[in-house]
Amino acid sequence: MKEPILVINNLSAVSDRDRTPILRQVSLTVQRGETRGLVGESGAGKSTVGKAVLGILPRAVRVASGEILFQGRSLLTLPEPERRRLIGERIALIPQDPMTALNPVRRIEAQLTDGLRLAGASASAARTKALQLLDEVRIGEPERVLRAYPHELSGGMRQRVLIAAAFALDPILIVADEPTTALDVTVQKQILRLIRNMQAAYGAAVLFVTHDLGVVAQVCDSVTLLFDGKVIEDGAVAEVLEAPSHYYTRALIGACPRSDRPELGLRPISPEIVARLRCEVAAS
Amino acid sequence: MTDDILIAEDLTVALGARRGWFGRSFEGVQALRGVSVRVGRGETVGIVGESGSGKTTLGRALLRLTDVASGRIVFDGRDITWLGESDMRPLRRRMQLIFQDPMASLNPRHTVRRIVTEPLLFHRVASNPDDAERRVRAIFDRFSLPVACLARFPHELSGGQRQRVGIARVALLAPEFVLADEIVSGLDVSTQAQALNLLKDLSRDLGLSMAFISHDLSVVRAVCDRVYVLRHGLVVEEGRCEDVFEAPRHEYTRALLDAIPSPRVDPAWLWRNAGADRTNPRER
């Protein structure tokens, strides 16, 4: 049964300085329980979409038109206090860099219970919940981790803590912004599996921002491919990756180094393809 | 064997070791615990491992940028393990390093022209500035870098262009051995493939020997002839790329290979080979 959690309609954004288009009529939907990959190369606008949903766009970026509906409520027109409350309690972020996302001078306990305390939980209830979350993200000795400072934990452990924090308030939508880019491959796999498990347990929808088509293939149900702020292709992961309809999608898949198919060699995207697509996008 | 340009035998490196006051000493962290590698002439050797495996320390030791505690390094038939800086100087041109982050390794206050011509004049590869300029223009042409880039500063270039400038700077010196340390990890797949192909062409045309450090096994597979797999400062597996990738003998190599997400949908991938799913804070 489909229930759209996040619906983005024709979202356009421009740079405040010179009005350069950053997003061009981007539309996408994330259903309940679905993981939608949002992919593109650097500068394609994938992180901008995630930030627009969370209401944390940089000052230099202005939404020009379009709407973002979260469970039917328009995030862009909601009064500020209400919007902040809704986003704070129902939408969570799993950030890219576990090194910078945690405050280095506060213990894990303080950082993990912030959201719970703001939502009205007592100190002891928040602590109990924090311990339960650390257990759910499969951290051994949760008591010890609560007392630790971020620098005492490895990168993978920090990312687990951030995932625990994201699920603290039982969110309906998770925005995961390159959550495994900074991690080793073996740790990445554990974290991807963890996100998948947590999502299933909590029934959350996930908007998964990544540049890695391999990650998309393994964890996403559907995918939206961006280039220069425009949606190039959109559909179920199996369809888009196995039978891409757009030439840019084909080129991008071809450029991925394949350890399972070394005979394919390395096939960079030719400058002609990029130039052609840039013109098409600018003209549209 | 004179077939090898670089031979390292049984290297150990301790980081942070010191002989303190009144016999208070600290034996340091054993970053390398007896590592032997060799690089044949014209060969590209991959050095892979996850963070903390010692791969970067190994690279620095090979170039004599880090002192070893024990072991032997032979470059072109000459033992360089304990050569002083002034004796190393003439060898520096012949053994070059391409850095991971061109933004950090290219001086932000120098123009690209100064960045690429200065080493040519310093090492007396070019006899005068005109000669240097001629050589630079030739290689820029070959690397599809616009000549206009020469007058720019590093931050004005795209990431792919910056990385190509970094490679051009090294290639101009016509070294015999190049160490490439994670040189494509920050790049998009399309630019990554381009930079790797460039490097492959160079090593073929100049008969360059190369040590290619990476955490990304699919990239190593695409460019290397042989590979060393490092873990906790030890080589756990070595061999020709085909052999190691087709039939890995060590459990750790298998885990690394299996952790690479391929851009082909494989519903079983995420749940295969769990590894240690519960992490313990004492394991760092």
Per-residue pLDDT of B150-202, as tens digits, reads 999 999 998 888 989 999 999 999 999 999 998 888 788 888 888 888 888 88
CB-nearest partner of A253 from B242, B259, B263: B263
| Nearest-CA distance B85 → chain A (Å) | 35
Long-range contacts formed by B86-91: CB under 8 A, 24+ apart: B88/B64
Q: What is chain A's length? A: 284
pLDDT band at A1 (very low <50, low <70, confident <90, very high): low
Q: Quick check: B261 and A242 CB within 8 A? A: no
Q: Which residue of A has its CA nearest to B271?
A: A193
| pLDDT at residue B114, rounded to an integer | 95
Q: Quick check: B275 and A217 CB within 8 A? A: no
The predicted model gives B4-10 an average pLDDT of 95
Position of tokens 């080979």? B273
Distance CA A221, CA A236 (A): 6
B246 touches chain A (CB under 8 A): no
Distance CA A7, CA A79 (A): 19
| Nearest-CA distance A155 → chain B (Å) | 9
B83 touches chain A (CB under 8 A): no
Q: Using an 8 Å Cβ cutoff, are B235 and B229 in contact?
A: yes
Distance CA B34, CA A45 (A): 47
The predicted model gives B97-104 an average pLDDT of 84
Residues in B closer than 8 angstroms to A42, CB to CB, are 159, 188
The predicted model gives B32-57 an average pLDDT of 93
Q: Using an 8 Å Cβ cutoff, are B181 and B100 in contact?
A: yes
Q: Quick check: B215 and A153 CB within 8 A? A: no
pLDDT band at B1 (very low <50, low <70, confident <90, very high): very low
Q: What is the mean pLDDT of chain B?
A: 89
Q: Quick check: B188 and A211 CB within 8 A? A: yes
B268 touches chain A (CB under 8 A): no
Domain ranges for chain B, please list them.
102-174
pLDDT band at B21 (very low <50, low <70, confident <90, very high): low
Distance CA A80, CA A65 (A): 18
The predicted model gives B19-41 an average pLDDT of 82
Q: Which residues sit opposite B228 in a β-bridge?
A: B47, B238
| pLDDT at residue B127, rounded to an integer | 93
CA distances from B79 to A134, A186, B61, B75, B92 (A): 53, 38, 13, 6, 14
Q: Quick check: A255 and B263 CB within 8 A? A: no
| Nearest-CA distance A85 → chain B (Å) | 33
How many residue contacts between A and B have a Cβ separation below 8 Å?
152
Largest CA distance in chain A: 61
Report the range out of A39-43, A177-181, B34-38, B217-221 with the highest average pLDDT. B34-38
CB-nearest partner of A266 from B222, B241, B242: B222
Q: How many CB atoms lie within 10 A of CB A97?
A: 16
| Nearest-CA distance A146 → chain B (Å) | 11
The predicted model gives A129-155 an average pLDDT of 92
Domain ranges for chain A, please list them.
4-283
Which one of A186, A250, A272 would you mutate to disrupt binding with B, by most B Cβ within 10 Å of its Cβ? A186
Q: What is the pLDDT of residues B219-248, one digit of tens each?
A: 899 899 999 999 999 999 999 999 999 999
| Nearest-CA distance A263 → chain B (Å) | 9
Q: Which residue of A has its CA nearest to B199?
A: A266
The pTM of the full predicted model, rounded to 2 decimals, is 0.87
Distance CA A251, CA B191 (A): 12
| Nearest-CA distance A190 → chain B (Å) | 6
CA distances from B256 to B33, B49, B216, B237, B273 (A): 21, 8, 9, 12, 11
Position of tokens 């305390």? A117
Q: Quick check: B262 and A258 CB within 8 A? A: yes
pLDDT at B22 over 70: no
Residues in B closer than 8 angstroms to A179, CB to CB, are none
Q: Which residues sit opposite B151 in a β-bridge?
A: none
| pLDDT at residue B185, rounded to an integer | 80
Q: Quick check: A268 and B271 CB within 8 A? A: no
B271 touches chain A (CB under 8 A): yes
Distance CA A24, CA A64 (A): 10
Q: Using an 8 Å Cβ cutoff, are B125 and B93 in contact?
A: yes
Token digits of residue B1: 């064997």
pLDDT at A141 over 70: yes
| pLDDT at residue B116, rounded to an integer | 95
The predicted model gives B10-22 an average pLDDT of 79
Q: Quick check: A41 and B256 CB within 8 A? A: no
Q: Strand, coil or helix: what is B266?
A: coil
| pLDDT at residue B283, rounded to an integer | 44
pLDDT at B277 over 60: no
Q: What is the 3-state secondary structure (H, E, C) of chain A?
A: CCCEEEEEEEEEEEECCCCCEEEEEEEEEEECCCEEEEECCCCCCHHHHHHHHHCCCCCCEEEEEEEEEECCEECCCCCHHHHHHHHHHHEEEECCCCCCCCCCCCCHHHHHHHHHHHCCCCHHHHHHHHHHHHHHCCECCHHHHHHCCHHHCCHHHHHHHHHHHHHCCCCCEEEEECCCCCCCHHHHHHHHHHHHHHHHHHCCEEEEEECCHHHHHHHCCEEEEEECCEEEEEEEHHHHHHCCCCHHHHHHHHHCCCCCCHHHCCCCCCHHHHHHHHHHHHHC
Q: What is the mean pLDDT of chain A?
A: 92
| pLDDT at residue B275, rounded to an integer | 56
Q: Which residues sit opposite B97 in a β-bridge?
A: B179
Burial A170-186, CB ≥16 within 10 A → b, else e: ebbbbbbbbbbbbbbbb
Q: Which amino acid is at A64?
A: A
The predicted model gives B96-117 an average pLDDT of 90
Q: Which of A13-22, A83-92, A95-104, B126-135 has the lowest mean pLDDT?
A: A95-104
Task: Specify the CATH number of the domain A4-283.
Answer: 3.40.50.300
CA distances from A166 to A58, A59, A206, B141 (A): 21, 25, 12, 49
Q: Using an 8 Å Cβ cutoff, are A179 and A5 in contact?
A: no
Q: Quick check: A267 and B270 CB within 8 A? A: no
Q: Strand, coil or helix: what is B260?
A: coil
Which one of A141, A163, A266, A274 would you mutate to disrupt binding with B, by most B Cβ within 10 Å of its Cβ? A266
The predicted model gives A84-91 an average pLDDT of 91
Classify burial at B164, counting beta carbons within 10 Å of its beta carbon; exposed 0-12, middle 13-18, buried 19 or more: buried
Residues in A closer than 8 angstroms to B279, CB to CB, are 138-140, 154, 156-157, 160, 190
- B259 CB-side CA count, 13 A: 26
Q: Which residue of A has its CA nearest to B192?
A: A268
| Nearest-CA distance B230 → chain A (Å) | 14
Largest CA distance in chain B: 62
B107 touches chain A (CB under 8 A): no
| pLDDT at residue B244, rounded to an integer | 95
Q: Quick check: B269 and A218 CB within 8 A? A: yes
Classify burial at A1, counting beta carbons within 10 Å of its beta carbon; exposed 0-12, middle 13-18, buried 19 or more: exposed
| pLDDT at residue A69, rounded to an integer | 97
User: At B239, which helix (H) or strand (E)?
Assistant: strand B234-240
| pLDDT at residue B276, rounded to an integer | 52
Q: Quick check: B219 and A186 CB within 8 A? A: no
